[in-house]
Amino acid sequence: MTSASSVRDAINARIDADRDMLVELLRQFLRIRSVNPPGDTREAADFVRGILDRFGVPHRTLSAVAEMPNIVGRWDGARPGKHLVLNGHMDVFPVSNEALWAAELRDGRIYGRGASDMKTGTLAAIMAYGYLHEHRAALAGALSLTVVSDEQSGGRYGTRFLFEQHPGVVAADACLNGEPSGLGNLRFMEKGTLRFSLSSSGIGGHGGYPHQAPNPIERIIRLTSRIYELYHLKLGDLPPEVDAILTSPETVRTADALLGAGAAENARRITVNIGIINGGLKATQIPTACTAHLDIRTPLGTDRDVLRAELLALADEHGCTMVVNEDHSYPASMTDPEGELAQILRRNTRELLGLDAPPVCSLGGTDARYWRWRGIPAVICGPSNISMGTDQEHVTVEEAIAVIRLQALCAADYLAGTHRADEPARGGA
Ligand SMILES: [Zn+2]
């Protein structure tokens, strides 16, 4: 019988042999314009199905809306064991730099929209699903693939649709997701968000006659200033054992290095962002309306019902109306950083890259939350997040190959049964 280590050796050799092909495949994927909004991923889905067909692996397409297909598949190993699901999305941010669609390879970097978020991580999931299939006779349990649409707009027609309409497809023992994370850390947690609009209106008037009409812009400014005073950078109500992880020196050092100085402290605090304010036509006129759109990020432990009630009361006090964007509001989520899949990722990171992977909190959202909310461990393994969404979005070739290798080897270890999975993580804790 093939041993777990020979499966690992075979996968490593295959990735070495496929290196140039993998780079070309990623560049082809990056040239497909799967921008969200509008989120039409049909061409990207055709591309993904093409790869899966060349592997000869099982897959099918599940769509809530025709323009947003989700490709799912599952195969089983030779003996009973655990079920791992791989997850990635095909949709990407809009561009202001059209050159990104060329997916240029320059100085060891591949430039393209989605290179970071997250076509590299998604391709890694697709390749892991295909590569391991050839070794299924030596593996236990099952491997599932979920390549989804609509992540950039909240997942209503993507991962959330799968959980609501096809729960059997996503129910697993663990999830590995390839969102941008950077290597050398373990993304075990992400903050929650409360997204909402505030609006105010009046009859308008001449700017010299403020005694005759309320000014909606003034109301919005007073209200949003108050929200900043009360909540921005307020320390969250974190469980002590979680706060101990977030304040440990190795986590602080790693989070600040990968996500920018201040990121470690940010993970423990509520943050407020006003993203849009609309109102007014002319300096000499009292406007008839003003609307602001805000995003409040909440650490684990924040009571969102209380926060929401407080904000509604504040809006009311200031003569404004608050409407919550439910699709984009959700609680924080976390996974045990000492869990089996987390330990496997940390051990492989150390073996392959010589890096420790201390637990770090993500500051943005990923579909991993849908698994974590249901108590299913979900960890992230993708390239650096530094350039995501920018005009210079890119991934280095080395990093792309490392992500493909890490995901495949982590999946192989997880499905190896007891061969390696029960060993303690070296350099862990
Ligand atoms: Zn993403």
Q: Give residue 1 CA to ligand 1 midpoint distance, Å.
A: 39
Q: Which residue has the higher pLDDT, 429 or 189?
A: 189
Q: What are phi and psi of 388, to 5 degrees?
A: -65, 135
| 285-327: pLDDT as tens digits | 999 999 999 999 999 999 999 999 999 999 999 999 999 999 8
Q: Is 273 helix (H, G, I), strand (E, B) or coil?
A: strand
Q: Give residue 115 CA to ligand 1 midpoint distance, Å.
A: 10
Residue 422 has a CB neighbour count (10 Å cut-off) of 9
Q: What is the pLDDT of residue 417?
A: 75
pLDDT of residue 134 exceeding 90: yes
Q: Give residue 384 CA to ligand 1 midpoint distance, Å.
A: 12
pLDDT of residue 36 exceeding 50: yes
Q: What are phi and psi of 109, to 5 degrees?
A: -125, 145
Q: Average pLDDT, whole number, for the chain?
A: 95
pLDDT of residue 10 exceeding 50: yes
Q: Give residue 151 CA to ligand 1 midpoint distance, Å.
A: 7
Q: Give residue 75 CA to ligand 1 midpoint distance, Å.
A: 25
Q: What is the pLDDT of residue 5?
A: 86
Q: What is the pLDDT of residue 1?
A: 47
Taking residues 382-403, report their average pLDDT.
96
Tracing tokens 């989700």 back to the chain, one arrives at 70
Pick the CATH number of 192-234+269-328 from 3.40.50.300, 3.30.70.360, 3.90.660.10, 3.10.129.10: 3.30.70.360
Q: Enter the CATH code of domain 4-189+332-414.
A: 3.40.630.10
Residue 299 has a CB neighbour count (10 Å cut-off) of 25
Q: What is the pLDDT of residue 424?
A: 44
Cα gap 284→287, rounded to integer Å:
9
Cα gap 105→296, rounded to integer Å:
38
Q: Is 163 helix (H, G, I), strand (E, B) or coil?
A: helix
β-pair type (205-206, 186-190):
unpaired
Q: Give residue 210 CA to ligand 1 midpoint distance, Å.
A: 47
Burial 353-370 (b: 16+ CB within 10 A, else e): beebbbbbbbbebbbbbb
Q: What is the pLDDT of residue 425?
A: 41
Alpha helices in 240-339 (DSSP H): 240-246, 249-259, 263-266, 304-317
| 92-110: pLDDT as tens digits | 999 999 999 999 999 999 9
Q: What is the pLDDT of residue 155?
A: 86
Q: What is the pTM of this model?
A: 0.92
SS3 readout for 346-385: HHHHHHHHCCCCCEEEECCCCCHHHHHCCCCCEEECCCCC
Q: Give residue 387 CA to ligand 1 midpoint distance, Å.
A: 12
- Contact between residue 144 and residue 86 where contact means Cβ atoms under 8 Å apart: yes
Q: Give residue 131 CA to ligand 1 midpoint distance, Å.
A: 23
Q: Give residue 141 CA to ligand 1 midpoint distance, Å.
A: 28
196, 229, 296, 316, 421 from 219: Cα distances, Å: 16, 15, 19, 11, 58
- Contact between residue 224 and residue 196 where contact means Cβ atoms under 8 Å apart: no
- Contact between residue 198 and residue 223 where contact means Cβ atoms under 8 Å apart: yes
Cα gap 409→393, rounded to integer Å:
26
Q: What is the pLDDT of residue 284?
A: 97
Q: Give residue 366 CA to ligand 1 midpoint distance, Å.
A: 6
Q: What is the pLDDT of residue 418?
A: 59
Q: Give residue 160 CA to ligand 1 midpoint distance, Å.
A: 14
Q: Give residue 220 CA to ligand 1 midpoint distance, Å.
A: 32
| 53-82: pLDDT as tens digits | 999 999 999 999 999 999 999 999 999 999
Q: Give residue 46 CA to ligand 1 midpoint distance, Å.
A: 20
Q: What is the pLDDT of residue 3?
A: 74
- State the span(s) of the chain assigned CATH 3.30.70.360: 192-234+269-328
2 falls in which pLDDT band (50, 70, 90)? low
Taking residues 370-376, report their average pLDDT.
96
Q: Give residue 179 CA to ligand 1 midpoint distance, Å.
A: 5
Q: Is 254 helix (H, G, I), strand (E, B) or coil?
A: helix
Q: Give residue 138 CA to ligand 1 midpoint distance, Å.
A: 32
Q: Give residue 354 CA to ligand 1 midpoint distance, Å.
A: 26
Taking residues 105-116, report their average pLDDT.
98
Q: What is the pLDDT of residue 426?
A: 38
pLDDT of residue 253 exceeding 80: yes
Q: Give residue 319 CA to ligand 1 midpoint distance, Å.
A: 37
Q: Give residue 118 CA to ligand 1 midpoint distance, Å.
A: 5
pLDDT of residue 428 exceeding 50: no
Q: Give residue 388 CA to ligand 1 midpoint distance, Å.
A: 9
Q: What would the DSSP string read from start to end of 48-84?
A: HHHHHHHHT---EEEESSTTSEEEEEEEE-SEEEEEE
pLDDT of residue 215 exceeding 80: yes
Q: Give residue 121 CA to ligand 1 midpoint distance, Å.
A: 9
pLDDT of residue 171 exceeding 80: yes
Tracing tokens 């663990």 back to the chain, one arrives at 174
- State the span(s) of the chain assigned CATH 3.40.630.10: 4-189+332-414
Output the six-digit token pair for 248: 């440990």
